Amino acid sequence: MGMRKVIFIILDGLGDRPNPNLKWLTPLQSAEIPNMDLMAAKGILGMQYPISPGIPPGSDTGHLSLFGYDITSEYPGRGIFEAMGENISLERGIAFRANFATVEEKDGKFIVRDRRAGRISGEDAEELAHEISEMDLLNGDVKATFKHTLEHRGFLILEGPHLSSEVTDVDPHEVGYPVLEPIPINDDAKKTAEALKEFLVRAYLSLKDHEVNKRRSREGKLPANFILPRGAASPPKLEPFSSRWGFKPAAVAAGPMYKGIAKALGFDVFQPEGATGLPDSNFSSKIGKALDLLNAYDFIYVHVKGTDVASHKKDPLLKVRVLEEVDIALEPLTDPPEDLLVVVTGDHATPCTIGKHSGDPVPILFFGKGLPKDDSTNFQELDAYTGGAGWFTGSDLMNLILNYSDRALEYGLRPVSRKIRYIPRVNQLTPFIL
């Protein structure tokens, strides 16, 4: 048996807690997922903390950590990934993830009523975004570009001399809290904070009485009257996934940020027909694409966003349905080629009971012909607690994947000068020539 290829499936926000609407079972326990159960029965389960015990990952930091990057030193900030997902190249400038939100003015403060403006539709958001798409700030010294992506999501880019990503978040992340002052963490960021404040006020003035919002109010919908930026980020200098882990990687994803992370790590990114980044995505199309890509790549990352969307909506029944639909799509993987490793997990927990990311551990499944097997019978938490993959943190996952794909280099060997952890390809080696 040579080296295996890998299909790595992230069910976003997979981890969860017992839910009163599921008879106090978790979504994984409640869902009918015979294909994942079959893989669990043939493979091993475990529990992983994407960052470390109790730390709630963001979707970006959860992914980066699972991909084997040190988020304490290599995390560039979320805005970058959003921008890269939209094919915006950032040679310079600062990028922010930014939501359309609903605020209420009160004593000069802006109290957040909904951080997602009632999960505004793409059409409304696009029309509003047009109004604030470009702005000259600080008397033309800084140029602001706002771009809408999906639903309430978008990003803001500030370009100009002497900007810095070291500013605190404007988004307070909690309903009922005031919009926050962007505070420069060091002196280099003072100008960035000033430009950001001008953008916030001018965007608010443009949005609050906009025709779209007037109509939304008439229809009983929340107005999208504020832009909430967070996650200031400078263009990253991330080592490509291929040189760090030795794989030739491809991604199958629809959500902009996930495509952005994959691009930032040098994956080739594919969004097949019907893949939407929403609960109604065509999962069979995505898994089919992943199987096709095995001809040209050896590490296929498949991202499923629907599980997380359902969790943020606190809708456990929807999460169960997404899991069941994903499971149908996974049928071809239950009898995989001999040289395939299948890994299924989540980038973090999003318990439907709390509707936000948590630091709970996340079940994980490793399955491939000839690989270890435990006595798990179902892909669910109780089996995963005692499974053959044990408990570990995200920083160990890529080493485990190298190992179970039979690509891990024995510790201490030094075939090339760099500190690589995978068995190098012959073209990475320097032959001794007479």
Interaction residues for a copy of itself, span 227-266 (CB under 8 A): 230-232
Applying the rule CB under 8 A, the residues between 322 and 361 that interact with a copy of itself are 353-354, 356-361
Residue from 131, 175, 332, 429 in contact with a copy of itself (CB under 8 A)? 429
CB of 287 to a copy of itself, least distance (A): 25
* Residue 99 found at the interface with a copy of itself (CB under 8 A): no
β-sheet bridge partners, residue 49: 393
Residue from 92, 331, 372, 377 in contact with a copy of itself (CB under 8 A)? 372
Residue from 5, 78, 216, 244 in contact with a copy of itself (CB under 8 A)? 78
CB of 161 to a copy of itself, least distance (A): 23
Residue number with CB closer to a copy of itself (30 or 281): 30
Full strand arrangement of the beta sheet holding 390-393: 268-270, 249-252, 299-304, 5-11, 340-345, 362-367, 44-49, 390-393
β-sheet bridge partners, residue 302: 9, 252
Applying the rule CB under 8 A, the residues between 305 and 324 that interact with a copy of itself are none
Spatial distance between the Cα atoms of 93 and 233, rounded to a whole number of angstroms: 9
What is the residue-wise DSSP string for 407-418? -BPPTT--SSSS
* Residue 370 found at the interface with a copy of itself (CB under 8 A): yes
CB of 274 to a copy of itself, least distance (A): 30
Residue number with CB closer to a copy of itself (169 or 292): 169
Residue number with CB closer to a copy of itself (141 or 396): 396
Applying the rule CB under 8 A, the residues between 15 and 54 that interact with a copy of itself are 17-18, 20, 24, 47, 51-54
Dihedral of the alpha carbons of 254, 258, 262, 267, in degrees to the nearest 10:
-20
Q: Is 248 exposed, middle or buried (0-12, 13-18, 19+ CB in 10 A)?
A: middle
What string marks each residue from 142 to 181 as x (binds a copy of itself by CB under 8 A) or -? Answer: --------------------------xxxxxxx--xxxxx
Whether the CB-CB separation of 55 and 65 falls below 8 Å is answered with no
User: Would you say how long the chain is, in residues?
Assistant: 434
User: Position 194: which residue type?
Assistant: E
